[in-house]
Structure 1
Amino acid sequence: MKKIIYLLVIVTIFSCEKKKSVSNHNRKVAEIANYLDSLEGFTGAVLIAKNDSIIFKKAYGFAHLGHKVKNNTDTKFSYASVGKSFTAVAIFQLIQAGKLSLDDPIGKFLPNYPNKIVRDSITIRLLLTHRSGLPDYFYSDKFLNTSKEKFRTMESLTNLYENEPMEFKPNEQFSYRNTNYILLGRIIETVSKMSYEDYIKKYVFSIANMQNTGNFDIDHIIENEAENYTLSDVYPNQLQKTIFMSAVKGSSAGGGYTTINDLYKFALAFKNNKLLNAYYTNFMKKEPENGSYGYGMQFAGEKGSGIYGHSGGHFGIGAEWRIFEKQNYTIILLTNKDLDQGFLDARFFIEKTIAGSTPKLNNYFYTKKVIKTCLDKGIKEAKIVINESQLELSEADLNAKGYEMIKRGLYKKATDLFTLEVLSFPKSYEAYDSLGEAYMMDGQIKKAIENYKKSLKLNTENTNAKEKLKKLQE
């Protein structure tokens, strides 16, 4: 009898704990859902899974504003640099198969590469971890000022970086560059004797059952595709399509399209060792001692948080897959507006709700509060909020919102935000440069000149300030 009573007590406790756990994650999902619903102008799709089961999936906003076509949970979104995850997995598949190693130099696979230092000194490891020192073709004048239609293959990009000077010596520092992953794509082609696209389809997308993912040509028809929208540089406070702003086709550095369902399938296949064996899966998801970028993997939260995955962003694009290993959540987030138009808010609120607060998250939401106060109530009230808090402002977020105000034609609000930036970061030449631009746009030439001069004093190599001062003084 005592044994039966003991077993009943154990079952009751287990049942109560299970109900408590279910109730807890239901509460978290409800909080996230309410927050996403409250985000003004948010557009995209979100998927949340717990214990490898989908518990939330919803689409927001419009895939096509012109025809008022709404996003749905099967909409294809551009995933930007999330594609680096696929490339990194492919590289480790080839390592696992014994066809290359992390310390193989580029020259072993690309013997005709024109730069000897690159051939002999840059390894697979340095490419994966963005420590190569290769130049950044993606923001070069050659790329930006040329018709993107020319860049439909990885080979077509070679003239943008192969003969350009290196930014620094190999392994000297970390610098996130698409060029690294373009070269990894070329190496995959050389070793596998397949096109990058065919390799990824066969050994990544097919294994994960990702039937709606690919490096599609964006100037051709893509079924159920979301257009990407950024704030216009041409007309204040209007949205602009981004079709001329990046490559015409995805590559090993990113730029393809996927759905929240497909990206979830990839995350699931990765974490459950379907794409790599357990050793190499664990190797990829091991957090680096320094920094937050490993071998084709990004790490969020505090050190040891167990949050890993990869994000992507560009004009009109925000994308991310994240696994919260300790809490056993998987989050997929895809949007078709700029990062600061809801993507970052969604990402950080979800992280805070699932994994708890961190100084970084607290500073982000504190900065949002200061910005909102400044925009709604004025700079005096914003200064009071700053004086009453011990938290740190995020200069990057403050600066980004200031430039958003410029794009919206709200120059007074921009000058207020940049004024807060220079008060909070008095040694930042970029803050004074931004304030100078806001005054210039507002027609306050004397104040613009004054701030550009302050910026130049802090950084004598600030070419933008030099050019602007020359024009303004003329």
Structure 2
Amino acid sequence: MSTILVVPVCAQTYQPPVFTDVERQKRIEEVYPIIDKLYEDFAEKNRIPGLVYGLVVDGKLMYSKSLGFTDLSKKMPVTSQSLFRVASMSKSFTAMAILQLRDAGKLSLDDAAERYIPEMKNLKLLTTDAPSITLRHLLTHAAGFPEDNPWGDRQLDATNEELMAFVKNQISFSNAPGIEYEYSNLGFTLLGYIIEKVSGKTYQNYINENILTPLGMTHSAWEYTDIPAEQLAHGYRWIDNAWTEVPLLHDGAYGAMGGLISSLDDFSKYVALHMAAWPPRNEPDNGPLRRSSLREMHHPWNFSGSNPTYTFPDGRMCGITTAYAYGLSWLRDCDGREFVGHSGGLPGFGSNWRFLPEYGIGIISFANRTYAPTTPINLQVLDTLIRKANLTPRQLPASVILKQRQQELTRLLPAWTNAEASGLFAENFFDDYALAALQQEAKRMFEKAGKIIKVHEIIPENQLRGSYLLEGEKSNLRVSFTLTPENQPLIQEYRLREVEK
């Protein structure tokens, strides 16, 4: 084939991935009856007094429904405005506040916690070679504190003075800091105290002013006595075949680990904020926390476990890996789907929210039964929605440079004529690939494929790597290549393989 001319490209441009399915929303709506049946069966099986759930799609609360009562004695029906204690779903608000302060230059995640809580300087860590406990350790449940459910739940209304007295009296550790994941309500309580020390405001006021109000979460609260009786969800426990109302806990120093009270309508705005962090893109960034910091919150920082035989409630086996992010849990399943969110449980309540960044869907559910198992049902609903609606992730458009290098490479094949002088390949290429071997391979495979009748569009893996199909009369060929990080990216890696028609 003829010698090619490699044309210089302009400065790198970026197009974010997009949804390409024009029927996506319609197919999601068609699954609503199935979602309703899943939650109805869940509520009946688990004896849930009251339940509300909502589906967030592309940053909007697209569908919601409620079942049962917030107050059994008064038969007060649950609505999307009913206020439930969401317990540990509060932890991501604490993490968000820490990152706000970090972004403002007021603290570092690698600061020792004792810098802000002098009472921690005298803690006797488990070993003499243990590192100081950092804010990052506290954010990821890696401080070495023991798992403290349900003990921590009952500390909700403790005062700051009681919290500091507890620290001064010496904390018992289960591990050295930075070694193991172990869920700690105490760790997030200490982060709440640090927020107060750094901001000069109470934890609750800081969250209200810097997260809730900017998001329009105007009905959310911390102290249940501040909530109108007709909006407040009461908590219950099933004992001896009867409902027993659980006394509501007052807010206090441990509010940073689980004190928020919110409604589905309010909380969906918070979920929408997290969803709006994806994908990375060139648009104005005006949220209460910048998008890059939100994505940092979603990253799996501390491995927490794996289950190769995990089985969805419908019986489908699909292994999972889990980790803890910043105030959020992270899960990847056998299909490569990533879920981000958090559960919440306190006496009288169980809640969960989850979303899939690449699919643009999220689910929220609140229940007023002690430790109601909302996590598995939410996972099942998202899995069911994806499969029944045939949802696919956003698709990344091919970059300008990938398209250009595809055209230039295709013109060289199969003869590789003047390839070394083409200027298309990086300096490593012909040291790593013998030209004669490339020519022999291409000649053999192109002859087997027959006449090339179509060159398909390149499918990008990222901005600098992709593959495309050469459709032949007898068989097809798959060409893949990777570009260098140079200012004018060149081909550094290449593969050619046969694929069945």
Q: TM-score range by the shorter chain?
A: 0.5 to 0.7
Provide the C-alpha distance between the structure 2 equivalents of 1:140 and 1:286, rounded to a whole number of angstroms. Answer: 28
Q: Which has the larger share of strand?
A: 2
Shift of 1:120: 6.9
Provide the C-alpha distance between the structure 2 equivalents of 1:339 and 1:138, rounded to a whole number of angstroms. Answer: 11
1:128 is matched with: 139
Shift of 1:343: 2.7
Shift of 1:52: 2.2
Gaps of 5+ in 1: 1-15, 358-474
Is the radius of gyration larger for structure 1 or structure 2?
A: 2
| Higher mean C-alpha displacement, 55-64 vs 286-295 | 286-295
Q: Is the 8 A contact 2:58 2:360 kept in 1?
A: yes
Instruction: Give the 3 Å change call, closer, same or farther, for CA 345–298 of structure 1 in structure 2.
Output: closer
Q: Is the 8 A contact 1:136 1:179 kept in 2?
A: no
Shift of 1:131: 0.8
Q: Is the 8 A contact 1:80 1:255 kept in 2?
A: yes
Shift of 1:301: 4.3
**Residue identity in the other structure for 1:298:** S
Q: Is the 8 A contact 1:297 1:309 kept in 2?
A: yes
Instruction: Give the 3 Å change call, closer, same or farther, for CA 336–301 of structure 1 in structure 2.
Output: farther
The alignment yields a C-alpha RMSD, in angstroms, of: 2.8
**Residue identity in the other structure for 2:189:** I
| Higher mean C-alpha displacement, 208-217 vs 73-82 | 208-217
Provide the C-alpha distance between the structure 2 equivalents of 1:307 and 1:187, rounded to a whole number of angstroms. Answer: 29
- Superposition map of 1:153-232 within 5 A: 153-162=159-168, 163-217=170-224, 224-232=231-239
Could you give the per-residue CA deviations for residues 403-437 of structure 1, whole angstroms, max 9, x where no partner exists? xxxxxxxxxxxxxxxxxxxxxxxxxxxxxxxxxxx
- 1:22 alignment partner, one of 22, 25, 41: 25
TM-score by length of 1: 0.64
- 1:259 alignment partner, one of 259, 263, 266: 263
2:39 is matched with: 36
1:60 is matched with: 67
Shift of 1:56: 1.0
Provide the C-alpha distance between the structure 2 equivalents of 1:169 and 1:289, rounded to a whole number of angstroms. Answer: 15
Could you give the per-residue CA deviations for residues 163-209 of structure 1, whole angstroms, max 9, x where no partner exists? 23222211121110100001001111111111111110110101111
What SS does the aligned partner of 2:145 have? Answer: coil
Provide the C-alpha distance between the structure 2 equivalents of 1:158 and 1:93, rounded to a whole number of angstroms. Answer: 24
Q: Is the 8 A contact 2:352 2:374 kept in 1?
A: no
Q: Give yes or no for the alignment of 1:284 onto 2:297.
A: yes
Q: Give yes or no for the alignment of 1:309 onto 2:341.
A: yes
What SS does the aligned partner of 1:207 have? Answer: helix
Q: Is the 8 A contact 2:330 2:339 kept in 1?
A: yes
**Residue identity in the other structure for 2:242:** Q
**Residue identity in the other structure for 1:72:** T
| Higher mean C-alpha displacement, 92-101 vs 51-60 | 51-60
1:241 is matched with: 245
Q: Is the 8 A contact 1:215 1:257 kept in 2?
A: yes
Q: Which has the larger share of helix?
A: 1
Q: Is the 8 A contact 1:135 1:161 kept in 2?
A: no
Instruction: Give the 3 Å change call, closer, same or farther, for CA 25–258 of structure 1 in structure 2.
Output: same
Could you give the per-residue CA deviations for residues 307-356 of structure 1, whole angstroms, max 9, x where no partner exists? 1112111332111222222221121111111345x634532321321345
State how many pairs are aligned: 331
Provide the C-alpha distance between the structure 1 equivalents of 2:203 and 2:213, rounded to a whole number of angstroms. Answer: 14
Q: Is the 8 A contact 2:55 2:63 kept in 1?
A: yes
- 1:319 alignment partner, one of 351, 355, 363: 351
Shift of 1:259: 0.3
- 1:298 alignment partner, one of 329, 349, 368: 329
2:367 is matched with: 335
Provide the C-alpha distance between the structure 2 equivalents of 1:29 and 1:80, rounded to a whole number of angstroms. Answer: 27
TM-score by length of 2: 0.60
Gaps of 5+ in 2: 1-19, 278-286, 305-322, 389-501
Of structures 1 and 2, the one scoring higher in RCO (CA 8 A, sep 6+) is: 2
- 1:111 alignment partner, one of 90, 94, 118: 118
2:485 is matched with: none
Q: Is the 8 A contact 1:50 1:330 kept in 2?
A: yes
What SS does the aligned partner of 1:66 have? Answer: coil
